Amino acid sequence: MLLMVNDVDVAYGRAQVLHQISIAVDEGERVFMVGRNGAGKTTLLKTIAGFLAPSHGSIVFAGRPIAGLPAEEVARGGIRYVFQDKRVFTKLTVRENIEIAAHAAKIRLAEAIERVVEIYPKMTRFLDSPAGGLSGGQRQLLLLGRALLGQPRLLLIDEPTEGLSAGAIDEVFDVLEKSKGTVAMVIVEQNLSVVRQLADRVYAVKEGRVCSEYRDMAAIADPSVLEGVL
């Protein structure tokens, strides 16, 4: 297993939000987390990414315990976290957004731009525009491109298609689809059609606990199956 989250509790101050969560992700596997707003999906990703420390339990990535490590060290170990709400550096241009990720990944800017453009060819048009002016879909593609530059072994993505138009959802979908097998992913997603088409495995989260796990996508094709958690 590439990632093992074992029996993890997480609290904000005194309010415990995650209860005995355990999940596992294999090398190259694409795992989705579904659940209602407030269920604790973002909290779980932030905990894996090192932005929150669990009060109990362990997180092991590539054989190394990472619970409680600062986020930048977790990232350096090979994990990239793409935040919810499409947080690009709005005051910098698209090129500069890529430049910072390239610097972090220790690759040349020209090569980095080439790789982002390969993922999303239309990005060439916006290279010198402020990233703050991009549409939601373009921002998400920039974030995915930026994250992939670091050649992570695990990518954590929080609600990549939230608030996007149908066309933008397709573009994001294509990028996630194409990177199959090269990088493991844990994706929080509310759009069940995206989940059904891309997931290798699905965890349903309810009130801070993993309530079920689905390996068979045919099983969740029936809309009534996930109704109780969504």
Partner 1 sequence: MISVVAYGLTVGAILYIISIGLSLTFGTMRIVNFAHALIYTMGAYVLFTMLRVTGGNFVLAAIVGVAAAVPLAWAIERFVIRRLYGQSIDYAIIGTYAVLLIGVDATKWIWGATPLPLSDPIGKYVNVLGVDLPVYRLVVIALAVLIFAGLELFFRRTVVGKIVVAGLEDKDAVRSLGIRVDSYFSLVFILGSCLAALGGILYAPITTIHPYMGTHVLLLSFAVVLVGGLGSMRGTLVASFALGMVMAVTGRVWGPAAEAMVFAVMAVVLVLKPIEV
Ligand X SMILES: Nc1ncnc2c1ncn2[C@@H]1O[C@H](COP(=O)(O)OP(=O)(O)O)[C@@H](O)[C@H]1O
* Residue from 27, 38, 64, 219 binding ligand X (CB under 6 A): 38
Among Mg ion, ligand X, partner 1, none, what does residue 14 contact (CB within 5–8 Å per kind)? none
The total of other beta-carbon atoms located within 10 Å of residue 43's CB is 20
Tell me the longest C-alpha to C-alpha distance in the chain. 49
| Residue 215 sits in the site that holds ligand X (CB under 6 A) | no
Q: How far apart are CA 212 and CA 198, in angstroms?
A: 18
Q: Could you say which DSSP state residue 79 is in?
A: E
Binding residues vs partner 1 (CB under 8 A): 49, 51, 70-72, 75-76, 80-83, 87, 89-92, 96-97, 99-101, 103-105, 146-147, 150
Least Å distance between CB 78 and partner 1?
9
Q: How far apart are CA 110 and CA 36, in angstroms?
A: 41
Least Å distance between CB 199 and ligand X?
17
| Residue 157 sits in the site that holds ligand X (CB under 6 A) | no
Q: Find the binding residues for Mg ion in span 15-74 (CB under 5 A).
A: 42
Q: How far apart are CA 228 and CA 138, in angstroms?
A: 33
* 130 half-sphere exposure, CB direction, 13 A CA radius: 4
Looking at the Cβ atoms of 70 and 228, the one nearer to partner 1 is: 70
Q: Which residues bind ligand X (CB under 6 A)?
A: 12, 15, 17, 35, 37-43
